[in-house]
Structure 1
Amino acid sequence: MEIKDLFLTPIYLIFFYALAYYFRPKVTNIYTKKYFIPALTLKYVGAISMGLIYQFYYNGGDTYNYFYHSWMINKAFAHSFATGWKLIMTSGGAYDPETAPFVASMFWYEAGSPEYLIARISALFGLVNFHTYSITALMFSSVSFSGMWAFYLTFVKLRPGAYKELAVALFFVPSLFFWGSGLGKDSLCIGALGWVFYAFYKGAIQRREVLQSAMIGFFAAYMLFLIKVYILLCFLPAALLWVFNENSSRIKNAVLRWISKPLFLGVGGALALFAATTLTKGDDHYDVEKIGERSKITADYIYEVSLKQEGSAYHLGELDGTIGGMVKLAPLAIVTSLYRPFLWEAKNPVMLLSALEALYFLLFTLRIFLRVGFLKTMTVITTTPVLTLSFLFSLIFAASVGVSTSNFGTLVRYKIPLIPFYLSALYILDDITRANAKAAKKPARKALQTA
């Protein structure tokens, strides 16, 4: 960060808040209105805090590498608008004599590089903010917040009685507003995931504004495809099952519903498999045929680096480079992603915060299961479509990132897409089970009064 950050950021903040107050009446109601500005403020706090911590605690990091690349692109604009525009419009890797002097020092200038995409978006924002890091980070946060608010509106429509708890799950979890804000991949991914979730609900479940929902969903899904396609691949099967469950409940005939269920599940599974293999075909990182091998390479590399740097490494077991080997480690990977690091595994303040969150997830989960009972809890989950979606996505995603990471510091960032789903599902589950318990007590009280 530079001196200009101190002078320009307050001016831009006033403008951003003015826009927020203008749009708030359009996207809130009497119950959700009070969370809009505080939630946005936390996103901004997270964005600035992440920049400061990376600058003064870590002495650099990916967020500043993105900014450096965007600075090179903006430098090209100073040389020639056409040259700068070429760098923004290209996906990287192509040689051009005009852009060569600038790309020579861009180590992320590769064809289809997600990192270079983030740099291009940052450079685009830089055109209207004098290429100021803090303002660019706030702009990333604003885009991310739009998706998070779409997340919130969707969950609130599905369970209006839990709007307070859902606000906590989506906006007030420290790792979510810290790692999910600012200049980086995670901000855009969590925002895009929120818009995909919103589009699925409005278009496929409510069947309202179908064309608009399809356009929103397609654009958000395309962003996930370009940046972190594995998030989309984990969400797609759960989303297809969600759509089926929501729509199958409208089939009044029990026999027809029973017959249609395996049919729709089979079609949904086939579509998910086709999408997974098609979207990732030829991708060195995410090709389904190579994913086991790639996960082993990534996990081993991160583990070795963590040990050399005395980082927070963890080891789940030996990966053999096959999907079967990943499946064997999936249960332990799920536990690791959701409930670790444990308190004694935290080696720095940031990790301690993550450990406290994980402990809360564990205690909250155990409280519900112990209070309601395992079978009753599972019955509620499997008969409530949004809970099936949320827990299924959380488990699939937890397994995938837990197996392939091997470092708690990295895992804290990688797992944030599952936090909105998992924690929101816990709050919805808690609300449903409490409501069921109250409803069960009423007949008993009436029977006693009659006796």
Structure 2
Amino acid sequence: MTQFLFFTDYLLLPFYLLFVIFLMNFYFQRKHGNNSKLKKHFNLALYLKLFGSISISMIYQYYYRGAFDGIHYFEGAKMLTSYWFNYPDQFFTVLFQDLKTFNLTNKAGLSGSSVHIFANESFMVSKVAAIFNLVSFNSFLPCAIFFCITAFIGLWNFFIFMIQEFQIPIKTAAYCSLYIPSVLVWGSGIFKDTITFTALLWLFICGYYVFIKKKNIIKNAIGIGICIIIIYFIKLYIIAAFTPFFIIFVINSNKNQIKNDLVRILSTPFILMFGAASMVLFLQNADELFGRYSVDQVLETASQTAYYIKENNAGSAYNLEVDFSSPTGILIAIPQAVNITLFRPYPWEYLNPFILFASIESMYFLYYTIYLFYKIGFFKTFGVIYKSPIAQFGLLFSLTFAFMVGISSANFGSLVRYKIPIMPFYLLFLAVLYKEKIFKGIKPKRRKLIA
């Protein structure tokens, strides 16, 4: 068993918890004052997030016996922290270096391979962890807590964003963002997913305020740049799935500013054509832009991963028969891959307690999807989607990302972690439908009370 949690972690843990809880309450007070409706969600979500961060660290230590990529990220962080203490002038230099350059030019003769850091994606996570480790003193749990609260701030702002910009009722918004079980666990520890998920939320928020609301443009443009850089160096395929549909979302959202009714109506097919063309162009150039995260490479990786797991009978594998050499075969696989990502594992498929929890979560996704389509009406639902740019974005981005994750994971254990970027966006799509259902026929004053 590889040991990464020690006595010092548990000794320091209570002090760090008290510190971050105090810090977060100060943050809430500055941002929201004494808003009691928000306060109860803030406290509960914060405690659940901290519990998720600590729990997943302990599960990997004692259940999986230290088989955890986060160990290598943290060992890389300790190496960088030590290097920065010895060479303070190298702090910003290292932050903007790739792994190969660091290995060749650092003043201490260090190498990422000595701590099992072999790729730039892993090196980026180690750099983020190293910043937190400056005040964690080489203790894993305190460092994980800083990952956790950074992610929590992003998630909390997305929750407020849903309420303010799309008039989602507070309780609904909370369940669609703050209380998603997979996000509370897999988006709270020392994972790549914690960083990229948080960056994606901020990218959407900042992009919305720059291109749609035209608000605090400089500050939000800087936020866009930072988020793109972070995602670029860790999981580029997220941008590949996000960008085309965000373009459509921006164009659709600005369409209402066209005063001439005829021009506005006729603009719809051009918007769809532009969005489709931009997506095709973007994906056709993915090889050059994203290297191994291109669509072709995703398909190749999916084929190799599926073969490896099938041959080795490893993990909680699922069977997805895909002809990766044929465009038709890939198209046929889209519904299966989307279903696997959004609605599986089914309860009878679980192989361990953790997959069972994921199956319960998936069943809620499936239930509310069917429920809302049924209650609103199948064709009326598409009418709501047609009229709502945010519903279109949430659905299209979720379906595309679900396809990419579904064909490339081949294993429920990996799937529950890789799919967290789409969860708040798919639930936002459902929340828009839910808002349509509960607000239908309700007077404006009553709507305010519900919200």
TM-score w.r.t. length of structure 1:
0.89
Q: Once superposed, what is the RMSD of the aligned Cα atoms?
A: 2.5
1:436 counterpart residue number: 440
Structure-2 change in CA distance of 1:218 and 1:98 (3 Å): closer
1:105 counterpart residue number: 114
Gaps of 5+ in 2: 447-451
| Aligned mates of 1:215, 1:97 — CA distance in 2 | 29
Give secondary structure in 2 for the equivalent of 1:93. helix
Q: 1:328 aligns with which of 329, 332, 340?
A: 332
Q: 125-134 vs 289-298, which deviates more? A: 289-298
1:173 counterpart residue number: 180
Shift of 1:223: 1.2
Q: 2:189 aligns with which of 182, 195, 202?
A: 182
Q: 255-264 vs 338-347, which deviates more? A: 255-264
| Aligned mates of 1:273, 1:21 — CA distance in 2 | 46
2:72 touches 2:116 (CA, 8 Å); kept in 1?
no
| Aligned mates of 1:321, 1:87 — CA distance in 2 | 41
Shift of 1:287: 2.5
Structure-2 change in CA distance of 1:432 and 1:296 (3 Å): same
Q: Does 1:70 align with 2:74?
A: no
| Aligned mates of 2:15, 2:123 — CA distance in 1 | 29
1:20 touches 1:37 (CA, 8 Å); kept in 2?
no
2:264 counterpart residue number: 257
Structure-2 change in CA distance of 1:193 and 1:266 (3 Å): same
Gaps of 5+ in 1: 443-451
1:445 counterpart residue number: none
2:53 touches 2:188 (CA, 8 Å); kept in 1?
yes
Q: Deviations over 1:111-163 (max 9, x none)?
A: xx211110121122212221211111111112211221221122112333511
| Aligned mates of 1:87, 1:175 — CA distance in 2 | 32
Q: 165-174 vs 404-413, which deviates more? A: 165-174
Q: How does 1:33-72 map to 2 (within 5 A)?
A: 33-60=39-66, 61-72=68-79
Structure-2 change in CA distance of 1:279 and 1:34 (3 Å): farther
Name the count of aligned residue pairs: 435
1:206 counterpart residue number: 213
Q: Does 1:154 align with 2:161?
A: yes
Amino acid in structure 2 at the alignment position of 1:147: G
| Aligned mates of 1:32, 1:245 — CA distance in 2 | 31
Shift of 1:271: 4.0
Give secondary structure in 2 for the equivalent of 1:171. coil
1:414 counterpart residue number: 418
Q: 2:389 aligns with which of 381, 385, 394?
A: 385
Shift of 1:72: 3.0
Structure-2 change in CA distance of 1:363 and 1:289 (3 Å): closer
Give secondary structure in 1 for the equivalent of 2:137. coil
TM-score w.r.t. length of structure 2:
0.89
Q: Deviations over 1:273-298 (max 9, x none)?
A: 44445565164421245443233223
| Aligned mates of 2:309, 2:196 — CA distance in 1 | 22
Give secondary structure in 2 for the equivalent of 1:262. helix
Amino acid in structure 2 at the alignment position of 1:52: M
Shift of 1:322: 5.2
Q: Does 1:339 align with 2:333?
A: no
Q: 2:141 aligns with which of 134, 140, 145?
A: 134
Q: 2:27 aligns with which of 23, 27, 40?
A: 23
| Aligned mates of 1:421, 1:135 — CA distance in 2 | 30
Structure-2 change in CA distance of 1:195 and 1:85 (3 Å): closer
Structure-2 change in CA distance of 1:272 and 1:147 (3 Å): farther
2:154 touches 2:198 (CA, 8 Å); kept in 1?
yes
Amino acid in structure 2 at the alignment position of 1:40: L
